[in-house]
Amino acid sequence: MNPERAERAERAAARIRSNPEHARRLLHQMLRVRRFEEKCVELYSAAKIRGFMHVYIGEEAVAAGVLATLEPGDAVVATYREHGHALLHGVAAGAILAEMYGFEQGCCHGRGGSMHLFDAATRFFGGNAIVAGGLPVAVGLALADKMTGRSRVTVCFFGEGAVAEGEFHESLNLAALWQLPVLFCCENNLYAMGTALGRSESQTDLALKAASYEIPAWPVDGMDVLAVEEAARRAVSAVRAGSGPHFLELRTYRFRAHSMYDPERYREKAEVSQWLERDPIDLLRGAVEAAGELSETQWSEVQAQVDAEVQAAVDFAEAGTLEPVEELTRHVYTDRAATDLDATDRDATDRKRP
Amino acid sequence: MKRTAMTTTYREAMREAIREALQRDDRVFLMGEDVGAYGGCFAVSLGLLEEFGPERIRDTPLSEAGFVGAGIGAALGGMRPIIEIMTVNFSLLALDQIMNNAATLSHMSGGQFSVPVVIRMTTGAGRQLAAQHSHSLEGWYAHIPGLRILAPATVADARGMLWTALTDPDPVLIFEHGSLYNTSGELGDDAGAVDIDTAAIRRPGADVSLITYGGTLPTVLEAATQLMKEGIDAEVLDLRTLRPLDDSAILATVARTHRAVVVDEGWRSGSISAEISARITEAAFFDLDAPVGRVCSAEVPLPYAKHLEQAALPSVARVIAAAREAVGQHG
């Protein structure tokens, strides 16, 4: 072990020992995503789930680390690879899975599917399948908070592919210009579908791009959940304190294909194997064990809890029912009868819970 | 209350509507390019920055996708933004946000979210601004479920549609034809919100229905005046709202006159005029005594040269010719 690694391991061990319960919780959160996603893949193969589906396996440390730092009322805007974000932000696993089954019990009544999970109760704003399309919306959510003096934070996740889109630049500029409370989390998994970062960007230092908008930005090891959480905590508290937008480049890797249709011609197996050695769950589990804070019994308990949750989600989804076809055009426009038009709805997100 | 009427312009009426909205609801703010310090590209918001300050009269960078998307996000966050886009051609830079977010979020989220944003923009030709400032794309937007599309053509509608649009829980796009800003009309000092659901008969008549909206309303009214001199009594229907269309008003006027001409500054192919014509033939075919006529813009990117631009647009003469055709009089 080189000295830098050794020092990092020692720091991690100290952090784990200072709050072992929290470390085990992060492990639990990452495992929830892992097992949920594995189940999704299985159910996709069994044709229970259709459409495009993108799983987060390998990237769990990013969502787990960032979302651990949020408070109730904070908003999340995510991408089409968002099952894990929804789950860790508090959307019920059963409602997510039922959504993918296309059932009425799904979090969007089956209108959105895998790529479009939404949840008003937890302020989870999707589920955006247009690359970079969520960034301006996140800026607007943050603008509303700033204009009304609320101390909420909006976290916006997007992939490194979004950096090539105009909306990325427009959004970073607006957020910085107006000093809005938004945290940009760039999940750099190195490939925009099949296009490697170096083949799409003239400047591959993404934090540098954000810094060019006068946004504090730094890269983070996205396979190390403790590092992610530490960086996110620093950024979120600065954003909440009114220091304007912040940007994290979370260096991660997806272990699976881009979607269920991807033959992975664009990357070498050796590269995947190399990254698999840095599996975020194995890394944390190893660190917690090394710190003497994870007994075999504790690890078994974590796994059993996760398995039970996933099984319950499957049972919930399997018991789902189809929304009547008569409801097809409902919600294209807001149900006027259910809406108070008399300007009493001070917050759209509070007013339309299902 | 004693009602007094005063003459005002379409521009002033729109400004008064924005001012009233800002005064009535602290969630309302205006955001767009040059709405503040410059006073608005078409001077609609002139003076509002001084009155309401830079937070609520918010100048933006040239970032249509960014600030339209931010308006959508702010609406989701409980605000009631009025977004101004300089012209409909520029709105194409924000089409992703309008189409993929504003129009879809309510349905795609299973009704959990509404997007109460109002997006205003200038549309139309007639000012020699050529092919990147002059088109009439409101018909395209009227194609999209989830949006409401308004086209105020009168001073009263310029004054009254905005507030009603702001109380709508869903995204509303308001298309203001550039040639209308300097038009004027009488407005009562108690003028205020108007409905945004129905079409309006601007001139009753018995012989032919001239169906139009927005910037071509003055053209059509002038044509109707001239037609009356030759004994053709035209009814003029102002659609006001292009989505949802007021089908019952369209069918009712056709039932009265049995002849219809649709006048639309958009291109003919795949247009809102085509939609209206189709609805008439679907639902009122047996009321018709003549085929539905259409007066649209020539299918060219609108040119700069004045004579070419005018030749491309619906004119009084072309409306008159189409009306004569419908009633079987060939001049």
Domain spans of chain A? 26-351
Where is average pLDDT lowest: A52-61, A97-106, A164-173, A254-263? A254-263
Enumerate the residues of chain B whose CB falls inside 8 A of the CB of residue A345. Answer: 78
A331 touching B (Cβ < 8 Å): yes
Q: Which of A109, A120, A345 is nearest residue B113 as measured by Cβ atoms?
A: A120
Enumerate the residues of chain B whose CB falls inside 8 A of the CB of residue A343. Answer: 24-25, 27, 167
**Rounded Cα–Cα distance for residues A145 and A168 (Å):** 20
Enumerate the residues of chain A whose CB falls inside 8 A of the CB of residue B53. Answer: none
Work out the average pLDDT over A33-53.
97
Q: Determine the pLDDT at residue A5.
A: 78
Give the number of other Cβ atoms within 10 Å of residue B207's Cβ.
Answer: 19
Residues 6+ apart with CB under 8 A from B274: B268, B294
Band the pLDDT of A354: cuts 50, 70, 90.
Answer: very low
Q: Rounded mean pLDDT of chain A?
A: 93
**Rounded Cα–Cα distance for residues A256 and B109 (Å):** 27
Work out the average pLDDT over A309-326.
97
What single DSSP character describes residue A335? -
pLDDT higher at B69 or A352? B69
Q: Which of B74, B101, B112 is nearest residue A133 as measured by Cβ atoms?
A: B101
Q: Report yes or no: A205 and A217 within 8 Å, Cβ to Cβ.
A: no
Residue B229, H or E segment: helix B217-229
Q: Determine the pLDDT at residue B3.
A: 61
Q: Determine the pLDDT at residue B40.
A: 94
Interface of B with A in 163-192 (CB under 8 A): 167-170
Band the pLDDT of A351: cuts 50, 70, 90.
Answer: very low
B23 touching A (Cβ < 8 Å): no
Band the pLDDT of B237: cuts 50, 70, 90.
Answer: very high
Work out the average pLDDT over A150-154.
97
A136 touching B (Cβ < 8 Å): yes
Q: Determine the pLDDT at residue B114.
A: 97
Q: Is the pLDDT of residue B254 over 90?
A: yes
Which position among B64, B176, B235, B275 bears the catalytic label? Answer: B64
Distance from CA of B276 to the nearest CA of A (A): 22
Work out the average pLDDT over A7-23.
91
Residue of B76, B92, B170 to mutate for A, most A C-beta atoms under 10 A: B76
Contact across the interface for B77 and A348, Cβ inside 8 Å: yes
B97 touching A (Cβ < 8 Å): yes
Q: What residue in B sits closest to A128 (Cα-Cα)?
A: B101
Enumerate the residues of chain B whose CB falls inside 8 A of the CB of residue A119. Answer: 112
Distance from CA of A10 to the nearest CA of B (A): 43
Q: Determine the pLDDT at residue A343.
A: 38
Whether B64 is catalytic: yes
Band the pLDDT of A348: cuts 50, 70, 90.
Answer: very low
Work out the average pLDDT over B302-325.
97
Tokens describing residue B285: 């075919």
CATH topology of domain A26-351: Rossmann fold (3.40.50)
In degrees and rounded to multiples of 5, residue A247 shows phi and psi of: -140, 130
Work out the average pLDDT over A48-53.
96
Q: Which of B100, B110, B116 is nearest residue A130 as measured by Cβ atoms?
A: B100
Q: Determine the pLDDT at residue A39.
A: 98
| Segment A93-109, tens digit of pLDDT | 999 999 999 999 999 99
A343 touching B (Cβ < 8 Å): yes
Distance from CA of B313 to the nearest CA of A (A): 34
Q: What residue in B sits closest to A117 (Cα-Cα)?
A: B109
Q: What residue in B sits closest to A147 (Cα-Cα)?
A: B55
What does the buried/exposed string (b/e) look like for B229-246 if buried means 16 or more CB atoms within 10 Å of the residue's CB?
Answer: eeebebbbbbbbbbbebb
Work out the average pLDDT over A274-298.
96
What does the buried/exposed string (b/e) look like for B12-29 if buried means 16 or more CB atoms within 10 Å of the residue's CB?
Answer: bbbbbbbbbbbeeeebbb
Q: What residue in A sits closest to B83 (Cα-Cα)?
A: A140
Enumerate the residues of chain B whose CB falls inside 8 A of the CB of residue A106. Answer: 110
| Segment A220-233, tens digit of pLDDT | 999 999 999 999 99
- Short-list A136, A196, A191, CA closest to A166: A136
Q: What residue in B sits closest to A342 (Cα-Cα)?
A: B167
Work out the average pLDDT over A274-287.
97
Q: Determine the pLDDT at residue A346.
A: 42
Determine how β-strand B80-87 pairs with β-strand B28-32: parallel
Residue of A168, A213, A334 to mutate for B, most B C-beta atoms under 10 A: A334
**Span between the terminal Cα atoms of chain B, in Å:** 51
Q: Determine the pLDDT at residue A344.
A: 36
**Rounded Cα–Cα distance for residues B197 and B73 (Å):** 26
How many CB pairs below 8 Å do chains A and B form together? 180
Q: What residue in B sits closest to A143 (Cα-Cα)?
A: B74
Residue of A170, A214, A340, A346 to mutate for B, most B C-beta atoms under 10 A: A170
Contact across the interface for A130 and B106, Cβ inside 8 Å: no
Q: Which of A170, A336, A339 is nearest residue B66 as measured by Cβ atoms?
A: A170
Rounded percentage of chain A residues whose pLDDT exceeds 70:
95
Domains along chain B? Answer: 5-188 (3.40.50.970), 200-327 (3.40.50.920)
Q: Is the pLDDT of residue A237 over 90?
A: yes
What are the DSSP calls for A204-270, one per residue? Answer: --HHHHHHTTT--EEEEETT-HHHHHHHHHHHHHHHHTT---EEEEEE---SS-SSTT---TTS-HH
Contact across the interface for B79 and A148, Cβ inside 8 Å: yes
Band the pLDDT of B2: cuts 50, 70, 90.
Answer: low
**Rounded Cα–Cα distance for residues B61 and B70 (Å):** 12
Q: Is the pLDDT of residue A342 over 80?
A: no
Work out the average pLDDT over A243-271.
93
A137 touching B (Cβ < 8 Å): yes
- Short-list B180, B184, B179, CA closest to B5: B184
Band the pLDDT of A345: cuts 50, 70, 90.
Answer: very low
Interface of A with B in 149-188 (CB under 8 A): 166-167, 170-171, 173-174, 177
Q: Which of A112, A119, A138 is nearest residue B73 as measured by Cβ atoms?
A: A138
Q: Determine the pLDDT at residue B189.
A: 82
Q: Determine the pLDDT at residue A206.
A: 96
Band the pLDDT of A337: cuts 50, 70, 90.
Answer: low
**Rounded Cα–Cα distance for residues B281 and B286 (Å):** 8
B154 touching A (Cβ < 8 Å): no
